[in-house]
Amino acid sequence: MLKRQNPSTPERSRDLAADGGALSMSHNDSRSFFNLSQLVLSAGQIKPSPALKHSKITYFEVEIVDVQSKKQICIVDKVPPASTILDVKHKFHKACPQWYPSRVGLQLERNGPFLKDSTSIQSLAVSSIITLYFTDLGQQVGWTTFFLTEYTGPLLIYLLFYIRLSTIYDQVESRKNFRHPVVHLACFCHCLHYIRHLLETLFVHKFSEGHTPLKNMIKGCAFYWGFTSWIAYYINHPRYTPPSFGHKQVSYAALAFLMCEAGNHFINVALAHQTNSGNRTCFPSPTYNPFTWLFLLVSCPNYTYEAGSWISFTVMTQTLPVGIFAFLMVIQMSLWAQKKHKLYLKRFYPEVRRKAAMIPIIF
């Protein structure tokens, strides 16, 4: 019968040492791997090489299609993601010199709105190719030119009637008749109104869009210049009769006119200050200036003061042409006020919801 041999003590100790050494080495390897992993994680992402980073830059291709014929006009290639619609218009002008950037209208859809010049190309991209529909907006003029032309005409036209040119009135009749003081006061108020508009156009107003169609300026000039000629002809006529209630009617109406002019100016300054400061997160609030307190009642107080100016001028002069002009101005400004009021409701609902658009009584 064979006996099972037990290993000797030295051999057994060598085996245990070998097993223990293997176990300790395995434990040390796993610990070293863990420490290496922690080091990599704490170091952050491994930065790519400059060549790899440069290879990831994407350029877009913008296809310009005529909105009517649906035919391709050109392709603007290599458009960086940070480019805007205005940059695309300039590149389009280089490819097609007959289309100036100011008269180019671009749409994402055929029946969609025109894209603003500040719109980013990357915000429109679904793929590397972007299709935009082109519309010729016609000859354009800047907003500053638009308002300067529109307001300079009435100022000069009224003065021509005020000096009573011989080609307008009978010279003999003009010398015989005495001018009532309201004629001089009306000339002062009328000139003050348009001088204020001109100065605000140059130094106060900040226009969001750069251009407007030339036909709009022609229509605006025809309206203002035509009515100014009609108004000035009647007020400065040698046979003009003063208002029915005399000096009191003229004085109170002139005072109301001056107050409305001052209020209109301070409202425009307040709106311009809000735009310049970049704080468009809240609706303009009234200040210590009493003329700005109208913000508590209406969302467009500048139109309220403008309408008040022409109504006061109508009472002061008591002429039919001024009354018709004031009536049309009130209608037009009420439409503008309603349109702005709807925009204000979307942006400043809690602050504007209890206000009227232009007339404080109507909520």
Instruction: Give per-residue pLDDT as tens, 155-169.
Output: 999 999 999 887 888
Backbone φ and ψ of 140, nearest 5°: -115, 155
Buried b (16+ CB within 10 A) or exposed e, 253-271: bbebbebbbebbbbbbbbb
Say whether pLDDT at 37 is over 70.
no
Say whether pLDDT at 327 is over 80.
yes
In the numeric block, the tokens 């434990």 are attached to 27
Return the SS3 of 83: coil
Say whether pLDDT at 324 is over 70.
yes
In the numeric block, the tokens 């025109």 are attached to 114
CATH number of 60-138: 3.10.20.90
- Between CA 87 and CA 93 the distance in angstroms is 10
- Between CA 37 and CA 31 the distance in angstroms is 10
- Report which of 135, 131, 108, 133 is spatially closest to residue 119, judged by C-alpha positions: 108
- Between CA 260 and CA 274 the distance in angstroms is 21
- Report which of 307, 310, 304, 306 is spatially closest to residue 186, judged by C-alpha positions: 310
Q: Name the helix (H) or strand (E) containing 72.
A: strand 72-79
CATH 3.10.20.90 segments of the chain? 60-138
- Between CA 140 and CA 125 the distance in angstroms is 28
In the numeric block, the tokens 């100790």 are attached to 13
Identify whether the C-beta of residue 305 lies closer than 8 Å to the C-beta of residue 260.
yes
Going by pLDDT thresholds of 50, 70 and 90, the confidence category of residue 122 is confident
Tokens found for residue 44: 């952050």
Percent of the chain with pLDDT over 70: 81
Q: Name the helix (H) or strand (E) containing 22.
A: helix 9-43
- Between CA 31 and CA 28 the distance in angstroms is 5
Highest mean pLDDT among 227-231, 277-281, 338-342: 227-231
pLDDT greater at residue 58 or residue 196: 196
From the number of C-beta atoms within 10 Å of its C-beta (0-12, 13-18, 19+), residue 159 rates as: middle
Identify whether the C-beta of residue 295 lies closer than 8 Å to the C-beta of residue 284.
yes
Say whether pLDDT at 89 is over 70.
yes
Within a 10 A sphere around the Cβ of 168, how many other Cβ atoms? 16
Q: What DSSP designation does 100 have?
A: -
- Between CA 178 and CA 238 the distance in angstroms is 8
pLDDT at 57: 45
The amino acid occupying position 170 is D
Side-chain-side CA neighbours of 122 within 13 Å: the count stands at: 7
Side-chain-side CA neighbours of 138 within 13 Å: the count stands at: 7
